[in-house]
Amino acid sequence: MQPRRQKRLFAILLVIGLLTGAVAAMLYALQQNIDLFYTPSQLVDGLGKDKVKPQVGQRLRIGGMVVAGSVKRDPESLKVSFDLVDTGPLVTVIYEGILPDLFREGQGIVAQGVLQDATTIKASEVLAKHDEEYMPPEVAEALKGIRHVPPSQQQPASGSY
Amino acid sequence: MIVEAGQLALTFAFALSLLLAIVPLYGSFTANQRMLLLAKPLALGQFLFCLLAMLALIYAFRTNDFTVVNVAQNSSSTLPWYYQITASFGSHEGSMLLWVLMLAGWTALVAQFSRALPLLLLGRILGILGVICVGFIAFSLFMSNPFERSLPFFPVEGRDLNPLLQDFGMIMHPPTLYMGYVGFAVAFAFAIAALMGGRFDSVWARWVRPWALAAWLFLTLGIMLGSWWAYNELGWGGWWFWDPVENASFMPWLAGTALIHSLAVTEKRGTFKSWTVLLALAAFALSLVGAFLVRSGVLVSVHSFATDPGRGMYLLVFLLLVVGGSLLLYGMRMNSVRSQARYQLFSREMMLWGNNIFLLTACLIVFLGTLFPLFHKELGLGSISIGEPFFNQMFYYLTIPFALMLGLGPWVRWKQQQFTPLVKPLGLVAVAALVLALGVLASMQSVQANLALLGMLLGAWVGVSALAEVMLRMRQFGSVTQGMTKLNASHYGMTLAHIGFAVLVIGVAMTKTYTEERDVRMQEGDTATLAGYQFTLVDVYDLDGPNYGGQAAELDVRKDGRYVTHLHAEKRFYRIQRTIMTEAAVHARLSRDLYVSLGEELPGDAWALRIQVKPFVRWIWLGGLLMSLGALLALADKRYRRKTPPAIRQEVANA
């Protein structure tokens, strides 16, 4: 072959090789790093049409509203546990560390962690958006029909419950 | 009154941008010189009116005019004056106006500083920038008007600026970032104008290069400031989260980096022409993708603005028009462009081509990783999240060959390079890098950590190689002192930017490996030990700021019994927005940061505190800073200011 064609062939092969490598590495990495999102009722009842329930030990994300009065702290350490809810059953989240600034009872949060048993999640990270009216969009969808009153619009009298 | 004047100024700017988008372009096809000459005053006038609009908005914020919705929602009378000014671009509407102002600013700069450009080309470039201006000014005017009033009912007090945005980093971050984003519009306009004229050569590349470099400089600086801001303000000591909005700024950066490298080949060797043009289109298209992702609300992130489907749809249609139109033009014109220059497999051309491939692969990964959850959800497969581990793993794979190649690249000659003459100097570089890397790790008494070792090795390889290469070039001019003055500014710029990359890699690897972090429960007088530092909680007391209250903690830090520093961490409660913000205490040194943030109050007079010792974390931002400085140095190169020889001017004018 002429050197010019040879060079072009080499270049094309290199691009294809690199792209295949990149895509393969990406799929491999994706397989390990995709975390499915559940709401508490999806976690208990299963997700989608086939009602697939997560397995114990699976990494996942859960999003819901923190149940008022459910936050329990360990007096000696930073261990904390709280319940999450959307429309149905409760799910317990346990966590050790500092909760985000906007973590409050009644507030929507997302926790990333591992399923410990059917209704308990050991969280490695708890996220609350820096916006007091924030609700995870998935939770908002699950809660469709139930009106969420942002704290800023609540009357002081009704805000005391 | 002033607010209405601002609205009027924006309307005038819109009218001028319409003229700018039509008149010079029409003139360029009908060879009407008068129309072409109109481009410059139109561009300058458009900028002037945008500036007036921005000033009017700032005036509304400074005078606490709460009849303006934007002011009422994003400011308050208790806000310090400097944040009242920055609040003017803290909201969606205000930031869009800032974006428009920057775009008009770049257009005016091109009009002012392109005397060397042939009139025909300049007219087309300004005309295309005018088209983009029309799109964004119309968006600001009709879809997100920053001057909207809420008369007759208006609040007596504003809702205050989001506390997250009340920080020095926020004053600097958005303007620099937008300068970068929008700056790529200039390279885009150059590319489209060249596609219309069908002429690409090294002269064209020399004209675009400083503009691409300037945009890249601002984008680099903006991303770096954003990372620094997140580190100080989000309170958990992270500096990059692979958040969708961060990714949105990272994608144009990757494409822009590929562009400035590819432009070097087009300027010096006259090849890679179609590739360079495609990169110029891609860099701006990705900036638009970023704008769409941030402002449409399709992705949820800490940074995104309130969602509005109408706005998202407008931006999506605009994006598709720009991308579709430019790709169509590209497809029609590009097959006539041929690159003649020949080069061998082992040559500077191939090294830079490899650089481009890696950068674009990285860009593709970020793109897919950011958008995959969106598609997954739209396809009804459930909500998923792709987080840090994925991106970290992918960039780990990519950085190794990229950095190895970067150390080699500047040594390789254009056209063809024999391998043997490089063996000796590069061998020396490799040995020096090895010694340096092991030396630093040995002084920290841990050589076993894999990532740190790898990062140090790659960083030292790139850094030492860049230094050695510039020394070699100087010696080629005779002596080092003689060579120092003869070497191009752009060569120094390249070396500095590459050293910046080395510093960044070292910073990332060392921080990732050696960061120690502990969440502790402390009462006053308690001491926690981390990485040899003893943190003693001295006092916790109530705060009283202008628009916030909260608590502050005072800590003393000792190492081996010796006093190191005093730390002051705050937990602020912003009264109007009713949000809590963590103001971390940071003690920064080149070799490590001490980072303490105050958490919530616990039962029994105790507090939760997060204590971190982060070695080399400063190096990450130092690396970014060096890269921007490198770009600045390259911009100072004399050849960008040289007048184009009259012969070439004539030739271009006829093209």
Does A152 contact B at CB distance below 8 Å?
A: yes
B179 and B225 assigned to the same domain: yes
Residues 6+ apart with CB under 8 A from B521: A76, A77, A78, B602, B606, B607, B608, B609
B536 and B507 assigned to the same domain: no
- Within-domain flag for B134: yes
Q: Do B390 and A33 touch (CB under 8 A)?
A: yes
Mean per-residue pLDDT, B505-530: 91
Q: Which chain B residues have a beta carbon less than 8 Å from that of A3?
A: 344
Residue B647: the pLDDT is 46
Residue of B nearest to A48 (CA): B382
**DSSP string across B91-156:** SHHHHHHHHHHHHHHHHHHHHHS-TTS-HHHHHHHHHHHHHHHHHHHHIIIIIS-TT-B--S---S
B374 and B353 assigned to the same domain: yes
Q: Does B594 score more than 90 pLDDT?
A: yes
Q: Which chain A residues have a beta carbon less than 8 Å from that of B394?
A: 25-26, 29
Of A22, A33, A98, the CB nearest to B386: A33
**Where a domain ends, among B166, B200, B226?**
B166
Q: What residues are paired with B621 via a beta bridge?
A: none
- Within-domain flag for B337: no
Rounding to the nearest 10 degrees, give the CA dihedral for residues B625, B627, B631, B632: 20
**Where a domain ends, among B357, B388, B413?**
B413
Q: Do A75 and B603 touch (CB under 8 A)?
A: yes
How many interface pairs between A and B have CB atoms less than 8 angstroms apart?
99
Q: Do A112 and B300 touch (CB under 8 A)?
A: no
**Which is higher by pLDDT, A127 or B261?**
B261
Residue A51: the pLDDT is 75
Structural domain of B112: 1-166
Contact B574, B604 (CB under 8 A): no
B375 and B436 assigned to the same domain: no
B504 and B576 assigned to the same domain: no
Burial class (CB in 10 A: 0-12, 13-18, 19+), B130: buried
Q: Does A148 score more than 50 pLDDT?
A: no
Among B166, B305, B372, B385, the strongest candidate for a mutation testing the A interface, having the largest count of A CBs within 10 A, is B385
Confidence band, pLDDT 50/70/90 cuts, at residue B147 = very high
Confidence band, pLDDT 50/70/90 cuts, at residue B101 = very high
Contact B303, B269 (CB under 8 A): no
Task: Kindly provide the ipTM of the predicted complex, given to two decimals.
Answer: 0.72
DSSP state of B366: H
The beta-carbon contacts of A4-13 under 8 Å, at least 24 apart in sequence, are A4/B342, A7/B344, A7/B345, A10/B345, A11/B353
Of B365, B389, B579, the CB nearest to A33: B389
Residue B339: the pLDDT is 66
B451: closest CA among B402, B396, B405?
B396
B541 and B511 assigned to the same domain: no
Q: Does B313 score more than 60 pLDDT?
A: yes
Give the helix/strand (H/E) hosting B58: helix B33-62
Predicted confidence (pLDDT) per residue in B74-94, tens digit? 888 988 999 999 999 888 889
Residue of A nearest to B598 (CA): A98
For residue B488, what are the CA distances in angstroms to B222, B513, B635, B639? Answer: 27, 38, 11, 9
B204 and B257 assigned to the same domain: yes
A positions 108-127 inside 8 Å of B (CB):
112
Q: Which CATH number fits domain A36-146: 3.40.50.720, 2.60.40.10, 2.40.50.140, 3.40.50.2020?
A: 2.40.50.140
B148 and B197 assigned to the same domain: no
**Which is higher by pLDDT, B599 or A128?**
B599
**Which is higher by pLDDT, B336 or B230?**
B230
Q: Does B236 score more than 80 pLDDT?
A: no
Q: Which chain A residues have a beta carbon less than 8 Å from that of B344?
A: 3, 7
B129 and B207 assigned to the same domain: no
Q: Does A131 score more than 50 pLDDT?
A: no
Q: Do A61 and B608 touch (CB under 8 A)?
A: no
- Within-domain flag for B621: no
3-state SS, one letter per residue, for chain A: CCHHHHHHHHHHHHHHHHHHHHHHHHHHHHHHHEEEEECHHHHHHCECCCCECCCCCCEEEEEEEECCCCCEECCCCCEEEEEEECCCCCEEEEEECCCCCCCCCCCEEEEEEEEEECCEEEEEEEECCCCCCCCCHHHHHHCCCCCCCCHHHCCCCHHHC
- Within-domain flag for B467: yes
Predicted confidence (pLDDT) per residue in B117-136, tens digit? 889 999 999 999 999 999 99
- Within-domain flag for B623: no
Mean per-residue pLDDT, A27-44: 81
Domain ranges of chain A: 1-34, 36-146
Residue B646: the pLDDT is 47
Q: Does B20 score more than 80 pLDDT?
A: yes
Confidence band, pLDDT 50/70/90 cuts, at residue B438 = confident
Mean pLDDT for all residues in chain B: 88
Residue A150: the pLDDT is 44
Q: Do A35 and B387 touch (CB under 8 A)?
A: yes
Does A64 contact B at CB distance below 8 Å?
A: no
Residue A155: the pLDDT is 40
- Within-domain flag for B254: yes
Q: Do B397 and A7 touch (CB under 8 A)?
A: no
Predicted confidence (pLDDT) per residue in B610-628, tens digit? 999 999 999 999 999 999 9
Does A49 contact B at CB distance below 8 Å?
A: no
- Within-domain flag for B336: no
Confidence band, pLDDT 50/70/90 cuts, at residue B643 = low
Mean per-residue pLDDT, B464-482: 84
Q: Does B446 score more than 80 pLDDT?
A: no
How many domains does chain B divide into? 4
Task: State which of B142-151, B181-190, B329-338 shows the largest mean pLDDT.
Answer: B181-190
CA of A119, closest CA in chain B: separation in Å?
A: 19
Mean pLDDT for all residues in chain A: 75
For B326-330, B335-339, B516-520, which range has the lowest pLDDT when averaged over its residues?
A: B335-339
Share of residues in chain B with pLDDT > 90 (%): 49
Predicted confidence (pLDDT) per residue in A9-29, tens digit? 887 888 788 778 877 877 777
Q: Which chain A residues have a beta carbon less than 8 Å from that of B519?
A: 78, 96-98
Residue A159: the pLDDT is 30
B119 and B1 assigned to the same domain: yes
Rounding to the nearest 10 degrees, give the CA dihedral for residues B272, B275, B280, B286: -150
B424 and B401 assigned to the same domain: no
B104 and B21 assigned to the same domain: yes
- Within-domain flag for B338: no
Q: Does B334 score more than 50 pLDDT?
A: yes
Predicted confidence (pLDDT) per residue in B573-585, tens digit? 888 877 788 888 9
Residues 6+ apart with CB under 8 A from B345: A7, A10
